[in-house]
Structure 1
Amino acid sequence: MPILVSDLANQVQESAHRLGIQKYDIYGASVDETSVQVDQGEPKQVKASQRSSVTVRVWNHEGTLGITSTTDVDPTGLELALKTAYDASFFGMKENVPDFSPEAMAPLAGQEEDRVSPASVSDLIAALIAAEKELLAAHPAIASVPYNGLSQRDMERFYLNSDGAVRRQGQSVASIYLYSKTEQEGKKPRSAGSFEVSRGLEQLDIQKCIRETAEKTISHLDYEKIPTGKYRVVLSPDAFLSLIGAFSNLFNAQNILDRQSLSTPESLGSAIASPLLSLYDDALHPENIGGELFDGEGTPTRRVSLIDQGVLTSFLHSAGTAKRLNAQPTGHANMGAKVTVGSHFYHVLPGVADSAFDLSTADNVVFIDDLHALHAGVQALQGSFSLPFDGWLIRDGQRTSIESATVAGDFRQLLKSIIHIEPELERVGAGLSPRVWIEELSITGE
């Protein structure tokens, strides 16, 4: 049920007046979610949840700030949250105190409503059982689909402050995930997965998810060890954006101010990658299903150029980091116990076709499809990584699955070693990217 944000703003204003609070802001979200899992043609798990979260910030007459969070969005709960935040404000920090975003009342660039009617639980179960059945029938070696899920979410977000800013956004998102596993006598189990997202169940491309999962799984059946050495490497869109995300401190202004970044404030304008690479963060891209119109401080989201032809052009900012670095907020603030900065949706600009870089004719090239253990194998402040991966060794255009291997390197060197970016974009969880060719990376076989 949509939150009447204008009514909420009036209630909060009355409560604040009673408590003697002059300056405050509130960011909140509510989510209705239904998800199903199946196992061998039977429902395994059905979950439905309704959850809300609200973060309240109050500034006292001394200018210091208190923050509290609550799951209670009725007038009594919000008034208690205001009082708690006000009491906490007298113990708040004295330096670099956050303030309202200067763009909290600027116009938004998208639609406030983007909802579809939810499907019934029985329809979700039926669709997922059918997908599992079709995937199991795709090849005799595919024995199970141990991880799967079909979910739909209806979300409402809002922001308001004592200066009169009132924002809201309602949207629907549906997603499916399939991950299949093989069993063959005398061979190791092989597995692969795929993910699709859309506005609702009817728009969800379930067939594409089934097809990609089957093709990837089958392609790993005949595997070989790979000799340890240095190889030319092609990163799938998912693998490349996984690395971008793992080293996102490069662009994160809060990380830079905290000295937890590979960049410094002076890094802007320096060449950090091959001139072939141009990277954006674009929350409003049409392919970004579930994209946010505004961030936790009410700042409108937008397209931000991070790397332009290899040159670092922008950082991602909250209102606070922008003020400290003499920049503009970019709409990347996450509201919580403290304001953090995070990305939305990466977009790597496609390159142009070049017959010298064609996987169908490549020789002695490693194609990395999926990187694992990023939580453990990435040294984000050193710039280094050593990660297990799923992929293929390509000889004379023929793919052979790699049994077990890790890829290692330095992320900054990897960016400068890009020798080709393919022309075809693919949407993955973190954004849009083509396949990216790297001159050389170290591969360690089992």
Structure 2
Amino acid sequence: MTNIQEISTYAQENAEKLGIKKFDIYGSIVDSTSVQVDEGEPKQVKASSRSGVTVRVWNEENTMGVTSTTDVDPLGLELALKTAYEASFFGVKENVPDFSPEATIPIPDRHQKKVPQAPVSELIEKLLVAEKELLAAHTAIKGVPYNGLSQSDIDRFYLNSDGALRTESHSAASVYLYSKTEEENKKPRSGGAYRVKESLADLDIAGCIKETAEKTISHLNYEKIKTGKYRVVFSPEAFLSLLGAFSNLFNAQSILDNQSLSKPEDIGKQIASPLISVYDDALHPANIGAETFDGEGTPTRQVSLIEKGILTNFLHSAGTAKRLNARPTGNASIGAKVSVSPNFYHVFAAEEAEEKFSLETAENVILIDELQALHAGVKSLQGSFSLPFDGWLVNKGEKTSIESATVAGDFLELLKSIVYVEKEVELTPGGVCPRIWVNELSITGD
């Protein structure tokens, strides 16, 4: 990566030459390698180096222009600054984005570092072994149609004309396996798992194989389910995917755009069962490759969103924080418009439940493993959802796979209907979360 200090010097010199007094630059470079296999042969090998730099410039009238480039040499930066300056005269005049007031606050060093990338041949070999082991796990498993093993190095930086200068680097490796069955006179069944770690050497590929095989095999003996109301247990991944689909609940930009289930005055309102707390915690120890600052240079931090069922905070950029008289939370991405998004959810039990539940003793509960068609089955502004899912009917510890079914409900009602939050959390792509028990939801069978 080009030295951040050099980029800063180029930018300052070119800005001075162009008479630009106020600007900022955010950039990232991702070097990644990924492989896929199919029936014992490499299917796809990809290596890429993606870079992007976003330059924002404010003119004398305090309107702002934005441009993006992949070129960070002196000539490229000069052109980007010039283009952004010209665009600034066509910028919005109301609620103009500004520097984050926290862009120059020192950030503690988290000692992140990049690890050497493994050769592509090693990635292919490990994934071929994983595919072979999955196929050998059960005679019904006939293929692993979706799989991937990847590693990446990420460099990020932010600087502005007020002296802010931030940079960080880290590495990540991940594996994804999804196997499928074929049996005579039976529908194909499937199951998948995912793992992530800082390096390929530390990646739990064996655990991923085991979980994928167990899930797939558990779906072989399936049955239809009667339509009705059931007590539902969401797996960590299923609950977080639903929470992500309704993330406008916490998004300050969505609230200001009237595209949210929340209003500014909802802070302090009970929106969920007192048994649950939800944080956005970019710096959680389980978050591989945690980012210490956002696109505006604001330090990321732990943000309490729901505390014992009470809505306590929204996620902010510098602009939304100013408009709603709050602090920026480190959740901004810059571009033509500043956007706000969650970093890494941490869901946990807020207090002891009066009654504890267990899949070993519960009768006729639905365990939802994975929700599907979230892009089509969620009405995020109405709060409603109707989604197909993979899961089991569980009766005193005995799991029977459900042939096909749909779960439907209202998300805010679901939050209030939580009757138990288990203690043990699991790591998923979206955060850490335990299994969540909901009193009653509508299940539509075949």
Q: TM-score, normalised by structure 2?
A: 0.98
Q: Equivalent residue of 2:360, what SS?
A: coil
- Once the two structures are TM-superposed, the CA of residue 113 in structure 1 deviates from its matched residue by 3.5
Aligned to 1:82: 81
**Matches of 2:356 and 2:95 in 1, distance apart?**
52
**Matches of 2:304 and 2:181 in 1, distance apart?**
42
**Matches of 1:278 and 1:354 in 2, distance apart?**
17
Aligned to 1:369: 369
Aligned to 1:343: 342
**Matches of 2:175 and 2:73 in 1, distance apart?**
34
Matches within 5 A, 1:130-209: 130-209=129-208
CA contact (8 A) 2:356 2:420 kept: no
Aligned to 2:439: 439
- Once the two structures are TM-superposed, the CA of residue 22 in structure 1 deviates from its matched residue by 0.5
Q: Equivalent residue of 1:62, what SS?
A: coil
Q: Equivalent residue of 1:113, what SS?
A: coil
CA contact (8 A) 1:352 1:422 kept: no
Aligned to 2:224: 225
CA contact (8 A) 2:275 2:352 kept: no
Aligned to 1:115: 114
Q: Equivalent residue of 2:292, what SS?
A: coil
Give 5+ residue unaligned stretches, structure 2: none
CA contact (8 A) 2:359 2:395 kept: no
Confirm or deny that 1:22 pairs with 2:21: yes
Give 5+ residue unaligned stretches, structure 1: none
Aligned to 1:270: 269
CA contact (8 A) 1:157 1:169 kept: yes
**Matches of 2:293 and 2:140 in 1, distance apart?**
47
CA contact (8 A) 1:110 1:284 kept: no
Q: Equivalent residue of 1:278, what SS?
A: strand
Letter in 2 for 1:372: Q
Task: State the aligned residue count.
Answer: 445
Aligned to 1:386: 386
**Matches of 2:324 and 2:2 in 1, distance apart?**
36
Q: Deviations over 1:253-297 (max 9, x none)?
A: 000000000000000000000000101000000100011100000
- Once the two structures are TM-superposed, the CA of residue 3 in structure 1 deviates from its matched residue by 3.1
List 4+ stretches of structure 1 deviating above 6 A. none
Letter in 1 for 2:37: V
Cα 1:110–1:365 shift into 2, 3 Å: farther
Aligned to 1:399: 399
CA contact (8 A) 1:279 1:307 kept: yes
- Once the two structures are TM-superposed, the CA of residue 393 in structure 1 deviates from its matched residue by 0.6
**Matches of 2:368 and 2:7 in 1, distance apart?**
50
**Matches of 2:138 and 2:360 in 1, distance apart?**
24
- Identical aligned residues as a percent: 68
Letter in 2 for 1:427: L
Aligned to 1:4: 3
Q: TM-score, normalised by structure 1?
A: 0.98
**Matches of 1:353 and 1:189 in 2, distance apart?**
39
**Matches of 1:109 and 1:222 in 2, distance apart?**
53
**Matches of 1:137 and 1:71 in 2, distance apart?**
46
Cα 1:444–1:110 shift into 2, 3 Å: farther
Matches within 5 A, 1:246-261: 246-261=245-260
Give the superposed CA RMSD.
Answer: 1.1
Cα 1:215–1:352 shift into 2, 3 Å: farther
Confirm or deny that 1:50 pairs with 2:52: no
Letter in 2 for 1:199: E
Matches within 5 A, 1:310-349: 310-349=309-348
- Once the two structures are TM-superposed, the CA of residue 360 in structure 1 deviates from its matched residue by 1.2
